[in-house]
A and B are shown apart, each in its own frame.
Chain A
Amino acid sequence: MTDFDYQLIDDLIHSRIRLAVMAALAALGPASFSLIKEQIGATDGNLSVHLRKLEDGEYLHVDKSFIDRKPVSIYCLTAKGKAALKTYIEYLENLLPLNNPKG
């Protein structure tokens, strides 16, 4: 565990933008595209691509609804997504010397 094992890293989360999306949604709860964009400072196109990847990996759930008669997508983490983020954070914490005396 002292060496960085890439096989243990969840590639889906490891991307900077996808990690930011997951962290933001973990704190925000359900959020719209615009709110996520504001929180992580990504561009529309870039964010769309990464949201789709997280959705395909079943880390996100998208709820399509109408607000003021306009279609809106509300994103939230799935149980699988929450578990993946937790595992990812625990893996990072285990790399720190405080949690890993051998390191």
Chain B
Amino acid sequence: MNDKNTQDAQEQLNFIKSIMDDSQRVLADNGMGFIVWGILILLAGFMSFILDQYQLTQYTGWTYVLMVGLGWIYMTTYDRRREKHSLGNPLIRKVIGSIWIAVLLSMTILGFAGGASGAINLDYMSAVMYTVLGTAYFLQGIITGKMWVRNLGLAWWGGSIILFFITGPPAIVLMILMMVGLQIVPGIIFYRQWKTYFVED
């Protein structure tokens, strides 16, 4: 009788542990941050291209100031309210949220201070940015146990290596493809997944 009780208790505890282990890595974010930042950076790139065509490159930096500024306004207003609708273990949400804030801050400093001081060659600014961006995806993928997100990080890093060796139109095409394929599309996937958690019950 005691052996049976012990076995039952162990099975129940294993069951509880397996459910908790699976659940504590869940993160359901609506992905709008990914989409908004992706679109803003694409717009900045497009505006830079237009300015370049009209030989107004002295204003290129301001397009990024505008778009990154809009991005931060979005982050500190709408995105904070939206965060209430994220689901998942509170600690995981805090860790992932902190990683993204740290990465975005790092990119903002590298972009503006690094670019304005001349410490970072503007031709290779995207390569530097994408290297940092890859870190956030990689960490999010590892922490939440989603290998496809981890692989996005690897793809960002792979793309950034190429961007360190090319400039001009090929680099612009690759930057656009990466921003769409590795940022906006994953954001849409996150959004679609998030919506499934809020179907009417």
A interface residues, Cβ below 8 angstroms from B: 2-4, 16, 19-20, 23-24, 26-35, 38-40, 44, 48, 67-68, 70-73, 89, 92-93, 95-97, 103
Contacts and interface: CB of A to CB of B under 8 A. Distances in A.
Contacts of B23: 23-24, 26-28, 39
Main secondary structure of the interface of A (DSSP, over half): helix
A32 B201 contact: yes
B1 A96 contact: no
B54 interface: no
**Among B6, B8, B19, B195: residue with most chain A CB under 10 A:** B19
15 contacts: A4-B4, A19-B12, A19-B15, A23-B20, A28-B26, A29-B89, A32-B198, A35-B26, A39-B23, A48-B201, A70-B198, A70-B199, A70-B200, A89-B13, A96-B10
A34 B199 contact: yes
A28 B89 contact: yes
Interface of B: 1-2, 4-6, 8-10, 12-13, 15-16, 19-24, 26, 28, 85, 87-90, 195-201
The 6 closest A-B pairs by CB, nearest first: A33-B201, A27-B23, A95-B9, A23-B19, A27-B24, A4-B5
A72 B6 contact: no
A27 B17 CA distance: 10
Contacts of B20: 23-24, 26-27
Nearest to A38: B197
Nearest to B21: A27
A55 B129 CA distance: 49
Nearest to B16: A23
A15 to B, nearest CB: 11
Contact of A20 (B1, B6, B13, B19): B19
A92 B13 contact: yes
A35 B2 contact: no
A16 B4 CA distance: 18
Nearest to A103: B2
B19 A3 contact: no
Contacts of B9: 92-93, 95-96
